[in-house]
Homo-oligomer: A and B are copies of this chain.
């Protein structure tokens, strides 16, 4: 007698209707329980549950019924152990607490769910060190694929090497690592966005525009700066290093820098800030010092976060579709995992972004 049948209580072995035996209290229901119930082999049960073509309609039907009746739940661990795949995607983002990021996550989750993938989400809280820890956890969890938006100050990317070595696809969005070979990036055209934001300010009559941005190791900030300079250049406005303020884009520095700008002489007449929340706080600090927005100083932010619609005056900003980006990222990764699309070469996808003009930058010239 095969080993697995031994688990069956002796007296019940030939009594299919015995409800007490196959499902022991407190024990998980397994394919063996189903198999015993139907007097077939576990192998057939497994096939039936996985829609294997080589199983008759009738048996499949019966298997599903009994599975249902017994409340069977496939054991992911056994399955993952055997299949060497987890059907899980990892996601590492800088912060969960932003409109953009949670839109992206919603998009990723939608696509992942539909494709039968689970998600492990973690935030680096803008710390490279925590990002390394998160990547490590993801690797240990043996995710089938990884989706990343880099932390503020990540420079060394070696924590992704294990993934590359093992052939686990890594795909970046927004805060990407373009110099990394064999990876896919999904971004907006940050240079263009920076250019348009700056040009808009210039067209509104600004001549002395300060640019506040984050760590230039991040593509998003470096490219927006390029766009800013391109616009200045095109309109033959002077540029000096002092016009660019690089800082951590957190709440505290927003207050500090807002106040510092209010004291600048000559007072700048335009601000291009790469973060809405930061811009909102700055604006607040400036108004406290009696500076009128946009009359004295026009402001453009970035991200179209909710806060941009709530501050006074409403903030001109750059909008880009988070949900869409998330869906695209997930779809891309999953297609690759399913072998539909080879992801061999470095690949960059650029999605649309647009300038949303609101009162914070609109003024008569």
Partner-B contacts on A (CB < 8 A): 26, 73-78, 80-81, 86, 95-99, 101-102, 105-106, 109, 113, 118-123, 125, 133, 137, 139-142, 166-167, 251, 277, 280-281, 284, 287, 306-307, 309-312
Given that A102-B96, A102-B97, A105-B96 are known contacts, is A76 also in contact with B141, CB under 8 Å in the complex?
A: yes
Chain B residue numbers with a CB within 8 Å of A97 are 96-99, 101-102
A157 to B141, CA, bound (A): 30
A85 to chain B, nearest CB (A): 10
A274 to chain B, nearest CB (A): 17
Chain B residue numbers with a CB within 8 Å of A99 are 97
Chain B residue numbers with a CB within 8 Å of A284 are 309-310, 312
A142 to chain B, nearest CB (A): 7
Check B77–A139 contact: CB distance below 8 A: no
A312 to B284, CA, bound (A): 8
Check B142–A77 contact: CB distance below 8 A: yes
Chain B residue numbers with a CB within 8 Å of A80 are 77
Q: Which residue in B77, B119, B307 is a CB contact (below 8 Å) of A310?
A: B307
Chain B residue numbers with a CB within 8 Å of A95 are 102
Q: How many copies does the complex hold?
A: 2
Q: Which residue in B98, B106, B118, B125 is a CB contact (below 8 Å) of A106?
A: B125
Chain B residue numbers with a CB within 8 Å of A139 are 73
A99 to B277, CA, bound (A): 12
Chain B residue numbers with a CB within 8 Å of A287 are 312
Chain B residue numbers with a CB within 8 Å of A86 are 77
Residue of B nearest to A133 (CB): B113
A252 to chain B, nearest CB (A): 12
Chain B residue numbers with a CB within 8 Å of A137 are 118
Chain B residue numbers with a CB within 8 Å of A142 are 75-77
Chain B residue numbers with a CB within 8 Å of A120 are 118-121
A105 to B96, CA, bound (A): 9
23 residue pairs bridging A and B, Cβ less than 8 Å apart: A26-B167, A74-B140, A76-B141, A96-B97, A96-B101, A96-B102, A97-B97, A97-B98, A102-B123, A106-B123, A109-B123, A118-B141, A119-B122, A120-B120, A120-B121, A121-B121, A251-B306, A284-B309, A284-B312, A307-B310, A311-B311, A311-B312, A312-B312
Residue of B nearest to A102 (CB): B97
Chain B residue numbers with a CB within 8 Å of A101 are 96-97
A123 to B105, CA, bound (A): 9
Check A73–B118 contact: CB distance below 8 A: no
Residue of B nearest to A306 (CB): B277
Chain B residue numbers with a CB within 8 Å of A166 are 26
Check B102–A310 contact: CB distance below 8 A: no
Chain B residue numbers with a CB within 8 Å of A76 are 77, 140-142
